[in-house]
Structure 1
Amino acid sequence: MRLRPALLTCVLASICLPLSAQETPKYKSSQEILDASPASDWRMLDPANTLYLELEDTDGSKGRVVIELAPAFAPEHVANIRTLAREGFWNGLSIYRSQDNFVVQFGDPDAEDASKAKSQGSAKKSLPAEFARKAKGLDFTRLPDSDGWAPEVGFVDGFPAARDPKTGEAWLAHCYGALGAGRGAEPDSSNGSELYVATGQSPRQLDRNITVVGRVVQGMELLSIIDRGPPPMGFYEKPDQRTPIKAIRLASEVPESQRTPLQLLRTDTKTFLEATEARRNRRDGWYVRPAGHIDLCNVPLPVRTPKG
């Protein structure tokens, strides 16, 4: 269900119909709102745009990180990432960097040494920078609060995003869990083979400086607990300190019985807006003073296992 701007304001600011004290409805928590949501407000992850990052820790434990790709914002990078995943590029590589309050990074630690670098198969070796795109045509659900990094912020198809009405551009925001394509000094020096996940406090200074290709929707706890590398940038000094990657696969290449079935709350729904407002102005028994504000990167993006 898509909402017109006027209705968005009504839902978020609760100013459409003034109510007397006797008519004020009982406060509902965001979880109560989610529990009452219709099935149509949820969507299944598209297997063609979903990556499974399969980790094998040095102690033998394993875990799956589920990532949703963002072809609407980075089509060429996403296409290359699909190719790399299908051809098993990351299989047997590792997370070789973990910088405190910033990112974990993975790929080929020998990528810059031609004699040791792993072949990237049929993937493209260079791509254009995809830092931003035209905002026209995007279904943008705007938040009502100000943001220090962009004129407007909100969500596009479940991704935290920003836009500038003056330039007509939109871009994905570096919130916790954002998946980006590492690059060198040149803006067009990434091809999606070296990736990172933001594990720190929303490094929004990276917005429009690096191509964001997706976001983690499940499994962030497996990345956030990885031992930090040494300062200043968290690159491990010894190979045995790295976290091995068993495989990175497209969900569409995994047998259906082995997939992780997940539903994501659609961000263009009344349920999402009401749940966000409930967190923006918490009025349960613990909160003495509702904030009346919420930061883009602090808006939860609900995920659940399909019912039944």
Structure 2
Amino acid sequence: MKHPIVPALAACLTAAAAIAQPAAPAAAPSPGEVIAAAPAADWQAIPAADILLLEFAGNRRVVLQLAPAFAPTHVANIRALVKDGWFPRHAQIVRVQENYVVQWGDPTEKAPIPAAIVARPADGYEQPGKPANFTALPWPDAYGAVVGHAGGWPVATDGQAHWLPHCPGMLGVGRNMAPDTGTGAELYVVIGHGPRHLDRNIALVGRVLEGIEHLSALPRGTAALGMYDRPEQRIPLVSARLAADLPPAEQPRFQVLVGQSLATWAGVRANRRDAFFNRPAGGADICNLMPPLRRTPQAK
């Protein structure tokens, strides 16, 4: 004979168990969700004077940001070369090395450099002290420096000096053997895994904002170091302009994430707990934490 209290007791125990069972934790926000929720105050405008617009043959348009705070003399040289019209007259892509760089400059290395260009600038390798408004990451860096962000840039420091790291998309200055430091007439963009061993050995002067696919998808050079050994392989640089020299309505506008939103984004990117991930990594390389960028509407 069934006792009528048994089903009722079972139902009570089931309900109690349901109440006692902790709720599954809500999924943490993804990096994309952090970016989408960032307030306007955490988006820093990139000055038009620092935006360099390049067009290579074949409608390959690349937009770069120059970094005068880290390489003032090199950046001044690049601006002077642009205003002189030197790049369209002389520069071509001469090197595309797999998992490394795309490089452009004068293939003859004989084109005269404008008189205003400073030879062998000493900057672009490192700057003294710590950068302003630097926020360090809590994870170690394989190259022996503390890394973090300052002014919307990835930065490394040893406490005595600071420098930009060689991450994908960074813009560097080609040079010959020291004491040569380059003039800015020969430039390269990192298209592979970050070659951090180049940090403080070659000047870094900026980064790609838009259009890196036009560089990274180029045919690889087959000569040593990825050089194009036949003239017909080289790709001319047909236009080089500074955004500040364009009418306001034609100036491209970009912003970079800074402030608390950048710190939150870096934390969730290094420790992914959103639905797709099973295990948070517990850290991230600075080259995986390049500050997010976005294009914004042009002025009317």
TM-score range, shorter chain: 0.7 to 0.9
Q: Counterpart of 1:104 in structure 2: which amino acid?
A: V
The answer (yes or no) to whether the contact 1:180–1:213 under 8 Å persists in 2 is yes
Q: C-alpha distance in 2, partners of 1:286/1:24? A: 14
Say whether 1:152 aligns with 2:142: no
Q: Is contact 1:159-1:215 (8 Å) kept? A: no
Is residue 200 of structure 1 aligned with residue 192 of structure 2? yes
Deviation at 1:122, TM superposition (A): 3.3
Instruction: Supply the distance in 1 between the matched residues of 2:30 and 2:47 (Cα, whole angstroms).
Output: 29
Residue 163 of structure 2 aligns with an amino acid whose one-letter code is W
**TM-score with structure 2 setting the length:** 0.86
Deviation at 1:41, TM superposition (A): 0.7
Alignment of 1:115-264 (within 5 A): 117-130=110-123, 131-136=125-130, 138-165=132-159, 168-264=160-256
Q: Distance in 2 between matches of 1:45 and 1:144?
A: 27
Which runs of no fewer than 5 residues in structure 2 stay unpaired?
A: 1-21
Q: How big is the alpha-carbon RMSD for the aligned residues of Structure 1 and Structure 2? A: 1.9
What displacement does 1:66 show? Answer: 1.2
Q: How many residues align?
A: 275
Structure 1 28/233 Cα, relative in aligned 2: closer, same or farther at 3 Å? Answer: same
For 2:33 and 2:181, how far apart are their aligned partners in 1? 46
The question of whether the paired residues in 1 share the 8 Å contact of 2:131 and 2:150 is answered with no
State the SS of the aligned residue for 1:145. coil
Indicate if the aligned counterparts of 1:86 and 1:253 stay in contact, CA closer than 8 A: no
1:143-194 Cα deviation digits (max 9, x unpaired): 11111113201122222211002xx111110000111111111133411111
Tell me the distance in 2 between the aligned counterparts of 1:145 and 1:133: 22
**Aligned partner of residue 237 in structure 2, secondary structure:** strand
Listed one character per residue, the Cα deviations across residues 236-261 of structure 1 (whole Å, up to 9, x for unaligned) are 11111112211111111122233222
Q: Does the CA-based 8 Å contact 2:27-2:273 persist in structure 1? A: no
Three-state SS of the structure 1 residue aligned to 2:87 is: coil
User: Partner residue of 1:55?
Assistant: 56
Paired residue for 2:86? 89
Counterpart residue number, 1:16: none
TM-score, normalised to structure 1, is: 0.84
Secondary structure of 2:226's counterpart equals: coil
Alignment match, 1:10: none
Equivalent-residue separation in structure 1 for 2:200 and 2:181 (angstroms): 14
> Matched residues in 2 for 1:187 and 1:162: separation?
23
